[in-house]
Amino acid sequence: MARMKFLCDAERCIECQACVTACKNEHEVPWGVNRRRVIVMDDGVPGEKAVSVACMHCTDAPCAAVCPVDCFYTTDDGVVLHDKDLCIGCGYCFYACPFGAPQFPQQTAFGVRGKMDKCTFCAGGPEPAHSEAEQVKYGTNRLAEGKLPLCAEMCATKALIAGDGNVLSDIYRKRLIKRGGRPQTWGWQAAYGQEA
């Protein structure tokens, strides 16, 4: 089986937020919940790098390891999903995740957070594919239609690519060979010169 992965090419990402918008719109994600976000390192200085981050669908997922109710499961495609019917909103997955992927609809006193929500790799949830319940809880199940996650599909510069890990690494390897592997010959410096 394929192992689904996201890959964000920091040399190509232009921080246009199309992936964020596509995700929010496709899955009707509520305010305050961000399944995907763009983080810019060294923002505003030469050499800044933007990276689009969401759930990385880890092999040995920390969220699944710390969940008190064991509501996470990994699909045959290597996508890490969770069951909102089991989730109790304890917030442990948010502490454990290195990427800050788990999100909660509210943040109030007495630890009331609501059910955790995160990127599903556009693969829905445990409910039957394309059912009303799945749509409401997890958003669209594009994978069941044979489509890839919308964020990657809509990326204008193809910085964000999604799919089988082997295919992604082939694509990325070809890009690196094309660039000659030296950061000085690509990206910011190539466009604006050495002494930018």
The residue ranges that bind another protein (CB under 8 A) are 10, 17, 20, 31-34, 37-47, 49, 51, 53, 62, 65-71, 83, 85-92, 94-100, 102-104, 106-113, 182-184, 189, 194-196
Q: Given the complex with another protein, which of 73 and 144 has the nearer CB atom?
A: 73
Question: What is the SS3 assignment for 171?
Answer: helix
CB of 62 to another protein, least distance (A): 5
CB of 145 to another protein, least distance (A): 27
Q: Given the complex with another protein, which of 1 and 110 has the nearer CB atom?
A: 110
| Residue 142 structure tokens | 């594009």
Degrees (nearest 5) of the Cα angle 138, 102, 121?
Answer: 45
CB of 53 to another protein, least distance (A): 6
Query: How far, in Å, CA of 16 to CA of 157, rounded?
Result: 10
Q: Given the complex with another protein, which of 62 and 78 has the nearer CB atom?
A: 62
Q: Given the complex with another protein, which of 146 and 182 has the nearer CB atom?
A: 182
CB of 109 to another protein, least distance (A): 5
Look-up: residue for tokens 């390192």? 41
Query: How far, in Å, CA of 26 to CA of 157, rounded?
Result: 20
Closest CA to 172 of 42, 41, 5, 50: 5
Q: Given the complex with another protein, which of 131 and 184 has the nearer CB atom?
A: 184
Whether 58 contacts 71, CB under 8 Å = no
